[in-house]
Structure 1
Amino acid sequence: MTNDRRVLLHQNKHALAASVAARFLTNMVDVLHQQEEANVVLTGGSVGIAVLAAVNESPARDTIDWSRVNFWWGDERWLPRTDPERNELQAREALLDHISVPPENIHAFGASDDAVEAGTDALDAAAARYTAELLGRAPNGAQYPRIDVMLLGVGPDGHIASLFPHRSGIREREASVVAVRDSPKPPAARLSLTRPVINSSDRVWLVLAGSDKASALGLALAGASRDEVPAAGIKGRYRTVFFVDNDAAAQVPESLIAPGY
Structure 2
Amino acid sequence: MTTVTEGSEKMVLEKTAACIISKALQAIRQHGWCSLVLAGGNSPRKLYRKLAEGLPYELIEPDCRDTRTGNDTTVRLPWEKIMLFWGDERCVPLNHPDSNFRMAQESLLNYTEIPENNIFCMPHVTSGFADAALRYETTLKHFFQSHHSSWPSDNLWPAFDIILLGMGNDGHTASLFPDDTPALEEKHRWVTDVHAKNGSPPGHRLTLTLPLINNAASVLFYVTGEKKTALARQIISGGQNTVPAARINPKHGDLQWFLG
TM-score over 0.5 (shorter chain): yes
Q: State the identity as a percent.
A: 28
Letter paired with 1:102: P
**Closer/same/farther in 2, CA of residues 48 and 143 from structure 1, 3 Å limit:** farther
Q: SS state of the match for residue 175, structure 1?
A: coil
In structure 1, the partner of 2:62 is none
2:134 to 116, 128, 138: 128
Structure 1 runs (4+) deviating above 2 angstroms are 57-65, 142-146, 222-226
Q: SS state of the match for residue 43, structure 2?
A: helix
In structure 2, the partner of 1:85 is 98
Kept after mapping to 2: 8 A contact 1:8/1:242: yes
Kept after mapping to 2: 8 A contact 1:219/1:232: no
Answer yes or no: is 1:5 the counterpart of 2:10.
Answer: no
Distance 1:170 1:223 in 2: 19
Letter paired with 2:140: L
Distance 2:234 2:202 in 1: 26
Higher mean C-alpha deviation, range 179-188 or range 135-144 = 135-144
**Closer/same/farther in 2, CA of residues 42 and 55 from structure 1, 3 Å limit:** same
2:119 to 106, 111, 132: 106
Letter paired with 1:9: E
Distance 2:6 2:233 in 1: 14
Letter paired with 2:112: I
User: Residue deviations 1:20-48, cap 9 Å, x none?
Assistant: 11221122222211112110000022332
Q: SS state of the match for residue 137, structure 1?
A: helix
Kept after mapping to 2: 8 A contact 1:161/1:192: yes
Q: SS state of the match for residue 46, structure 1?
A: coil
In structure 1, the partner of 2:67 is none
- Residue segments in structure 2 that go unaligned for 5+ positions in a row: 57-73
Aligned-pair CA distance for 1:225: 6.8
Q: What is the aligned residue count?
A: 233
Distance 1:65 1:132 in 2: 27
Kept after mapping to 2: 8 A contact 1:225/1:233: no
**Closer/same/farther in 2, CA of residues 8 and 225 from structure 1, 3 Å limit:** closer
In structure 1, the partner of 2:245 is 231
**Closer/same/farther in 2, CA of residues 62 and 241 from structure 1, 3 Å limit:** closer
Aligned-pair CA distance for 1:109: 0.7
Letter paired with 2:123: G
Distance 2:213 2:253 in 1: 12
- Residue segments in structure 1 that go unaligned for 5+ positions in a row: 114-120, 246-261
Q: SS state of the match for residue 131, structure 2?
A: helix
Distance 1:68 1:157 in 2: 35
Distance 2:240 2:19 in 1: 30
